[in-house]
Structure 1
Amino acid sequence: MDKDTAYGAFSTHVMELTTQNPNDRDSPYCLENLRDWEYQGLIDIARENLLLGVNVILVGPFSREIQSGRMFDPQALGIPAQTSIQIAWIALQADEAKGCMAKRADPRDDWKLTHWEQYITRRIEPPIHPALHRFDNLAFNETDFEDLIDQLL
């Protein structure tokens, strides 16, 4: 499940109504008023599926949740206690990330690219945790990628 798929159209509409910029997805206003609600909603959808016995993969940085340790704790997330949480942290240097965003040319990245120095201050180094599996996407290696998949499974 991808946060932008689940909430993209809704959040775009809200941002158009509030800031007159439908692509304003990384400004302080959006981060203060929508971000946490989107992530919580995605976790709520995951909980419903987990309670039905359906495995779930969530897509999103979840930076705040990882940094706080909440993402490693089923109880803190409000999901079934027996849930096995595995996190793939895909690392990419800031300059490479900027190049990828520019090449992607998605209007939702406009704020990030225009305010790059402010945006990169939000990039975090995740804590060391047994459930967190790092993968360096800059030096892609098929064997390392297969190892990551094995670790996640």
Structure 2
Amino acid sequence: MPRLIFFCGHAGTGKTTLAKRALPALHARSGQSFCLLDKDTLYGDYSSAVMGVLTGDPNDRDSPLYLQHLRAPEYAGLLNTARENLSLDVNCIVVGPLSREVRAHHLADRAWLGVADDVAVHVVWVHLQEAEARRRIQARGNPNDVWKLAHWDAYRTRLFMPDAAQYPELLLHDNTQASNESFEALLDALSRA
């Protein structure tokens, strides 16, 4: 039974770091290998080239042009790559914000995901306090975050914190001051079929 594990959440929450920490631990627990599919790794250079040509700003990931025309193909490619690996019985860890998809409950919808019934699907929503997210975004110095920091009040209107009762399909992970105990509990949940 292949596994599809999503690490989702807004910028600066530590999705990628958490996924990279979880991958070897899940491998050690299960004896199975996992393919890491990070949206920024797969599409970052491509999107920079396209946005550089279209807007003159290769770091633009927040304009209406990007959000309306490049976001959807990036996510489609990310999910198509996961599906292809899953069809070969390769476990996948997918990292990306995916906030629209989480909000619409798409990641809990097998028909929307296009995965077989034998695929174990887990969705981790990584979150932290807004002030800490902003501090981490500032500290990492990623040029893709310039717009977010310059327009924080506008950006923060897109921030979304799922309510556990309304999103029972999510494993909510507070990454503000994540403890070893909370990480182990997350691994336990992800290890279940």
Same fold, judged at TM 0.5 (above): yes
- Please state how far the C-alpha of 1:126 moved relative to its aligned partner: 2.0
Q: Which has the higher strand share?
A: 2
Partner of 2:132: 96
SS in 2 for 1:85: strand
Q: Report the residue type matching 2:176 in the other structure.
A: L
Q: Report the residue type matching 2:150 in the other structure.
A: T
1:118-139 residue CA offsets vs partner (Å, 9 max, x unmatched): 1111111225334311111113
Runs of 4+ in structure 1 over 4 Å off = none
TM-score using structure 2 length: 0.76
Partner of 1:134: 172
5+ unaligned residues in a row in structure 2: which ranges?
1-36
Deviates more, 1:22-31 or 1:130-139: 130-139
TM-score using structure 1 length: 0.95
Q: Report the residue type matching 1:143 in the other structure.
A: E
Q: Report the residue type matching 1:48 in the other structure.
A: E
How far apart, CA to CA, are the structure 1 residues paired with 2:163 and 2:81? 26
What is the number of equivalent residue pairs in this alignment? 153
Match of 2:103 among 67, 76, 90: 67
Partner of 1:122: 158
SS in 1 for 2:70: helix
Checking the alignment, whether the CA contact within 8 Å between 1:70 and 1:76 is kept in structure 2 is yes
Overall identity of the aligned pairs, in %: 44
State the superposition RMSD in angstroms: 1.2
Partner of 2:56: 20
Q: Relative contact order (alpha carbons < 8 A, sep ≥ 6): 1 or 2 greater?
A: 2
